């Protein structure tokens, strides 16, 4: 069964790695629904969030292919109930329309939106939430002459994850756990080979 999965990738911050990761999807004709790259809790390590609609079997194989890339440390995949996630959206609406029709108050109250910019021509609202929430606001603003809409990539925190720091610490232990062994050089940043 296809479901929405969020893939979290920890990787070195290196030019070209994004392309190496995305071609793993495009080669298999899999559409990326949302993609976000950012720094992570560990300096120098990048974190990607990739959202796709696929079966678990496919997602698992994709993660193995991603982990196979030299610069990738780890790839996790999760269903929506295993993560805390948010998407940010911006909406540009004609100021005349929204003030006239008194929508501003409703939008701010019911949708938890914020006004980020306002001038005589247009107003920009921001809304952060799940897909349905940001979509609902699109519907509403369409009635008031929505000029522009954009949504950012999903950012997600894995509920059960204790982060990557723990793995680094565990490395000092005599018998590191399996996952740590897989990344045994993580804490040895100075000693390891990098460019």
Partner 1 sequence: METIRIKDKEQKNAAKEAEKTIQPGATITGSQAVMEALIAEGVATIFGYPGGAIMPIYDALYDYTNRLEHILVRHEQGGIHAAQGFARTSGEVGVAFATSGPGATNLVTGLADAQIDSTPLVCITGQVFAHLLGTDAFQETDVINVTMPVTKWNYQVTDASEIPNTLAKAFYIARSGRPGPVLVDITKNAQIQQFEYPGYQRCHHVRSYRPKPIIRKEYITEAAKLINEAQKPFVIFGQGVILGQAENEFKTFIEKGNLPAAWTIMGESALPSDHPLGVGMLGMHGNYGPNVLTNECDVLIAVGMRFDDRVTGRLDKYAKQAKVIHLDIDPAEVDKNVKTTVPVWGDCKETLPLLTALIEKKDRAAWLQVFAAYAAEEDKECIQPEMHPKGDVMSMAEVMAALNELTNGDAVIVTDVGQHQMVACRYAKFTKSRSNVTSGGLGTMGFGLPAAIGAKYGAPDRTVVAIIGDGGFQMTLQELGTIMQFGAAVKILILNNEFLGMVRQWQQLFHDKRYSFVNITSPDFVMLAKSYGIEGQSIDQRAALKAALKTMLDHDGAYLLEVKVGKENNVFPMVPQGSSVAEIRLK
Burial of 78 per CB tally in 10 Å (0-12, 13-18, 19+):
buried
Q: Which of 3, 39, 41, 64 binds partner 1 (CB under 8 A)?
A: 64
Q: Which of 35, 37, 53, 67 binds partner 1 (CB under 8 A)?
A: 67
Q: Are 69 and 21 in contact (CB under 8 A)?
A: yes
How far is Cα 163 from Cα 41, in angstroms, rounded to an integer?
Answer: 8
Q: How far is the CB of 143 from partner 1 (least distance, A)?
A: 44
182 scored as a contact of partner 1 (CB under 8 A): yes
Q: How far is the CB of 192 from partner 1 (least distance, A)?
A: 4
Q: Are 21 and 91 in contact (CB under 8 A)?
A: no
How far is Cα 113 from Cα 17, in angstroms, rounded to an integer?
Answer: 35
Question: Nearest 10 degrees: CA dihedral of 21, 86, 83, 22?
Answer: -10
Cβ closest to partner 1, residue 72 vs residue 127? 72
Cβ closest to partner 1, residue 23 vs residue 84? 23
Footprint of partner 1 on this chain (CB under 8 A)? 11-12, 16, 19-20, 23, 27, 60-61, 64-65, 67-68, 70-73, 178, 181-183, 185-186, 188-189, 192-195
């Amino acid at each position: 069964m296809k479901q929405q999965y969020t893939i979290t990738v920890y990787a070195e911050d290196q030019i070209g790695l994004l392309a190496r990761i995305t071609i793993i999807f495009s080669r298999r004709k899999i559409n990326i629904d949302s993609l976000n790259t950012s720094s992570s809790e560990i300096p120098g390590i990048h974190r990607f969030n990739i959202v796709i609609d696929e079966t678990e079997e496919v997602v698992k194989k994709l993660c193995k292919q991603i982990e196979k890339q030299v610069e990738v440390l780890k790839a996790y995949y999760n269903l929506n109930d295993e993560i805390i996630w948010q998407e940010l959206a911006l909406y540009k609406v004609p100021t005349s329309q929204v003030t006239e029709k008194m929508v501003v108050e409703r939008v701010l109250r019911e949708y938890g939106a914020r006004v980020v910019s306002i001038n005589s021509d247009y107003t920009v609202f921001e809304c952060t939430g799940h897909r349905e929430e940001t979509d609902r606001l699109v519907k509403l603003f369409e009635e008031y002459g929505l000029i522009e809409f954009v949504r950012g990539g999903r950012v997600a925190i894995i509920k059960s994850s204790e982060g990557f720091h723990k793995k680094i610490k565990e490395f000092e232990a005599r018998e590191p756990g399996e996952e740590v062994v897989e990344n045994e050089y993580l804490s040895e940043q100075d000693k390891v080979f990098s460019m």
